[in-house]
Structures are given as structure tokens and as C-alpha cells.
Amino acid sequence: MKKVILLMLFSAFISINSFSQKGLEVNVNSERTLGFEYWFNNKIAGVMRLHAGVLDGYSVSPMVILNLKEIDASTKLYLGVGFREVEDFETLSIPLGLRVYPFDKMPKFGFTLELENVFGDDYILIPSFGLSYRF
């Protein structure tokens, strides 16, 4: 079952869609997170995050992100859902974030502020600040 879900997520990343975009996200927090995004349209993205932190060591987290509101052309509020421990599917991750692209000369480069709610054996709230770039 785990392999099937991972295969489906991987397939979503390589699917062809005329409106899709790829992105890279780096978050600075105790987890040292690197994320790869694939936007299917302006509302939904598939995300694969790599964590190298103190919470769960090295891990891979698949998730789906939904743009909740476009505050203006350069500011977006998003909500995601995914898993933190892929092998056991025991830990649920629900990030809520704000992504801002403030530079007119570099409209694909931005900043991310995020609160990641992690539900498992314990509840953990992980605040983070990150950089985003869309290709």
C-alpha cells in the first residue's frame, strides 16, 4: 500500500499539464526542510518535502497543498495535508502558510511563513520561515 501511494504521488509530479509549474521551497527551522512542488493549476500542488531535523531524523513527506486565498497578485494563503513518517503513516502534517512574492523584477522568487501542525503520538507546532522559487 505504501509503495502504491508513493508511486501515485510520483506520477502526479511528472504528469503533463499545460498550466503546471515546478517549484522549489527551502524552509529554515529546526527541521531544515527542502521541498519540491508541482502546481497542477493555481489552486492545487503536490509537494515532496525532505526533512533533516530533530523531530524525526531524516524523512520524506508527501503532501497536497491548496491555495486558500489569493490576497493580491503577489500574496497567497495556503493549507496543506500530508504525512511526516511515510513508512508508518502515523504522523499527520497540516501546514498553514503565507507565501509572498514581493519583488517586481524577480516575480518567481518569494518568502514563506508557515505553521506546521504535526499530529501523531504528540502534537507539535513547527513555525518556519522559508524561501520559494518557481520555475
Q: What is the pTM of this model?
A: 0.75
- Using the Cα atoms of residue 129, residue 58, residue 50 and residue 66 in order, give the sign of their dihedral: negative
In the chain, pLDDT over 90 holds for what percent of residues?
A: 24
CB atoms within 10 A of CB 10: 13
DSSP, residue by residue, the chain: -HHHHHHHHHHHHH---TT-EEEEEEEESTT-EEEEEEESSSSEEEEEEEEEETTTEEEEEEEEEEEEEEEETTEEEEEEEEES-TTTT--EEEEEEEEE---SS-TTEEEEEEEEEEESSSEEEEEEEEEEEE-
Q: Per-residue pLDDT tens for 68-101?
A: 998 888 899 999 999 877 666 678 999 999 999 9
What's residue 100's pLDDT? 94
- Kindly state the percentage of the chain with pLDDT values over 70: 74
Q: Report long-range pairs for 13-20 (Cβ below 8 Å, ≥24 apart).
A: 13/38, 13/46, 13/48, 15/40, 17/41
